[in-house]
Structure 1
Amino acid sequence: MRDQLARMILTKVAGPDPQAERARVHQTPGPRWFAPGSPIQRVHGDASMFAGGLRALLLQSMHPLAMAAVSAHSGYRGDPWGRLQRTSYFLAITTYGAVPDAEAAIARVRAVHERVRGANYRASDPHLLKWVHVAEVDSFLTAHQTYGANPLDAADQDRYVEQTAFVAGKLGVIDPPTTVAELRRTLADYQPELRGTTEARQAARFILVHPPVPWAARPAYGVLTATAVGLLPWWVRLPLRLPYLPLTEQTVVRAAGDGLTRTIRWALTSPTLGETAVKT
């Protein structure tokens, strides 16, 4: 049962042959950007990333230009699992992979960004790139500190932000934050630009209410979405018309989210799958 659950999760995240993807990331010889056990590897290798990833998507949708680009070009409705797999591979290869493979992945993403443009936005715009970056980093770190197996201390939280800034700089982000304090200030600086557009609310509804998830998995997915929403600040939820129930979230949702994250972690650390499969 443990292996079946792990394979069901991994085929959605990493594609039809997750073991081959894992070998590609972890077994290709060559130097890596980050040392084993470094903060970025600890955060990106934990099951809390599932909730963090959903939170990041909801938070990112609050920028009208970023959401316009996603709505027009990402194909998240037609191929949501493909988009998830591409994002997961990028995170895995830049966090754990050999440097040439990581650089090749960054070059591909930058080439795609150059082609994505509309009347009033360019995906390669450093300002939009920074928004996507800080929304991701804040979401991954928030989820890890809440549901991670081993939350980071203050120094390692700053180190995590600094390590993610290294990758962001290679993607074209100018002056990304390198400490938690800078991350919080950057998020605050973007707030006047954020609002809940029709496209953002439609994306939230697709992610939370009408996802392409089998009915048998809907209860677990419902816990995951409630967990992700519970990690969002109120100023994101109100424009997206998401519930804000502090008492329920601090008790029922927190307990359910913790239980689900532990279950995912248990499945993805099955001895027959090798070392922490979530790193795929």
Structure 2
Amino acid sequence: MLLAKNNSLQENLSRRFRRLLSQDPNGVPPWLPIVAEGDKPGLFLPSDAPWIVHADFGTLVGGIRALLMQALHPGSLTGVKNHSRYQQDPLGRLAGTIRWLTVTTFGSVDAVAGEAARVNRMHQRVTGEYQTGAGELKSYRAADEDLLLWVHIAFMESFLVAHQFYSAQPIPSGDAATGADNYVGQWSRSVEPLGLTNVPMTEAELEKLIAEIYQSGQLSKTPDTESVIKFIQYPPLPATAKPVYRLLFEAAVVSLRPEFRELLGLKAKSRWLIIPITRAVLKIMRWAIGPESPIEDAARARLIRARVWSPK
């Protein structure tokens, strides 16, 4: 009887959680059929680093951190502010980002190509001008290589750092020197369909590139930075989700470099408090929602049909 009650509770919590992230009333992500269909392999296997990292709940912190990192670049900040629905429909925009990440990680090569085409079409409409840190006006397109590169490394570093800070699951190293190097190198494949090929392939290259971009003065605080950061900090979420989100936001801030926190006007809470509490809360969330993952299950079933993977 107790086991049945626990299973029922987990199913209910899982449905609510997925409903919030996917914006589907039944809690079934609309991109589930895209991941499930076909009999072709994808970019990654269940043993690969991106699969391991993106299946973990540390991505909840990584996603917030990635938005903060994007806000450091006035070009990507302006693109989000002027060409996204983040204020009118923040959860809808979040669902769109989750869709790209999920399909690219777990979908077939055909699904990845289709998702990349969708993103590329969206990028064609995102154009305008932004004010650089030096006060100059600069024209931009979302498809510009420098903006694509910053968004890529902002996401990649954020998910990697969040995993390193808040997840217990080790990242497989594969043929690379470390798990982090393996993740950076493997995830580089995700942006090839977007037209980005010259990207970091190791953790050291990633850190070096971020430092170079910062030192070049490309990252800066603009008049729009504060309003966007405030929105990321206090989004219009359901009341029941706000306390957990607040913790996840603080966890993201703690994991940022000090110079980036200063640019964004953010102060970190005590690491000795935020890190263990976040780890514990993410672990509880995983337990409460249960081990089932419809997306991963569908992806594994497709890989079995493709005869490129089999369960041990």
Partner of 1:224: 248
The Cα of 1:260 is off from its aligned counterpart by: 1.6
1:76 maps to which of 63, 78, 86: 86
2:28 maps to which of 16, 19, 22: 19
- The 1:25/1:260 distance shift into structure 2, 3 A limit, reads farther
The Cα of 1:165 is off from its aligned counterpart by: 0.9
Q: Which moved more, 1:142-151 or 1:125-134?
A: 142-151
Provide the rounded CA distance (Å) in 2 between the counterparts of 1:26 and 1:268.
21
Partner of 2:17: 9
**1:169·1:176 contact (CA, 8 Å) conserved in 2?**
no
Provide the rounded CA distance (Å) in 2 between the counterparts of 1:97 and 1:13.
18
Provide the rounded CA distance (Å) in 1 between the counterparts of 2:229 and 2:236.
13
Correspondences of 1:129-208 after superposition (within 5 Å)? 129-152=148-171, 155-191=178-214, 192-208=217-233
The Cα of 1:178 is off from its aligned counterpart by: 0.9
Letter in 1 for 2:219: L
Provide the rounded CA distance (Å) in 2 between the counterparts of 1:276 and 1:124.
30
1:63 maps to which of 73, 82, 90: 73
Provide the rounded CA distance (Å) in 2 between the counterparts of 1:174 and 1:266.
39
Letter in 2 for 1:201: E
**1:130·1:174 contact (CA, 8 Å) conserved in 2?**
no
**2:49·2:182 contact (CA, 8 Å) conserved in 1?**
yes
Provide the rounded CA distance (Å) in 2 between the counterparts of 1:275 and 1:109.
21
The Cα of 1:65 is off from its aligned counterpart by: 1.0
Letter in 1 for 2:183: Y
> Which TM-score applies when normalising by structure 1?
0.91
Letter in 2 for 1:76: Y
Q: Which moved more, 1:176-185 or 1:254-263?
A: 254-263
The Cα of 1:3 is off from its aligned counterpart by: 2.5
**1:62·1:197 contact (CA, 8 Å) conserved in 2?**
no
- The 1:14/1:216 distance shift into structure 2, 3 A limit, reads closer
Partner of 1:264: 285
Larger radius of gyration: 2
Provide the rounded CA distance (Å) in 2 between the counterparts of 1:205 and 1:9.
24
**1:269·1:276 contact (CA, 8 Å) conserved in 2?**
no
Provide the rounded CA distance (Å) in 1 between the counterparts of 2:66 and 2:279.
18
**2:70·2:151 contact (CA, 8 Å) conserved in 1?**
yes
Higher helix proportion (structure 1 or 2) = 1
Partner of 2:4: none
The Cα of 1:243 is off from its aligned counterpart by: 0.8
- The 1:97/1:103 distance shift into structure 2, 3 A limit, reads same
Partner of 2:306: none
1:128 maps to which of 136, 143, 147: 147
Provide the rounded CA distance (Å) in 2 between the counterparts of 1:87 and 1:270.
23
Provide the rounded CA distance (Å) in 2 between the counterparts of 1:204 and 1:130.
21
Letter in 2 for 1:100: D
Q: Which moved more, 1:104-113 or 1:30-39?
A: 30-39
**2:72·2:220 contact (CA, 8 Å) conserved in 1?**
yes
Letter in 2 for 1:158: D
Give CA deviations for 1:190-222 in whole Å, capped at 9, x if unaligned: 1021112222221111111x3111223222121
Count of aligned residue pairs for this structure pair: 273
Give CA deviations for 1:164-185 in whole Å, capped at 9, x if unaligned: 1111122122401111111111
Provide the rounded CA distance (Å) in 1 between the counterparts of 2:142 and 2:32.
31
- CA RMSD in angstroms comes to 2.0
For structure 1, the residue ranges without an aligned partner over 5 or more in a row are: none
Letter in 2 for 1:242: L
The Cα of 1:264 is off from its aligned counterpart by: 2.3
> Which TM-score applies when normalising by structure 2?
0.82
- The 1:18/1:215 distance shift into structure 2, 3 A limit, reads closer
Provide the rounded CA distance (Å) in 2 between the counterparts of 1:48 and 1:73.
28
1:255 maps to which of 266, 271, 276: 276
Give CA deviations for 1:116-163 in whole Å, capped at 9, x if unaligned: 100311101011100000011000000011112313255222121112
**1:3·1:270 contact (CA, 8 Å) conserved in 2?**
no
Provide the rounded CA distance (Å) in 2 between the counterparts of 1:275 and 1:106.
19
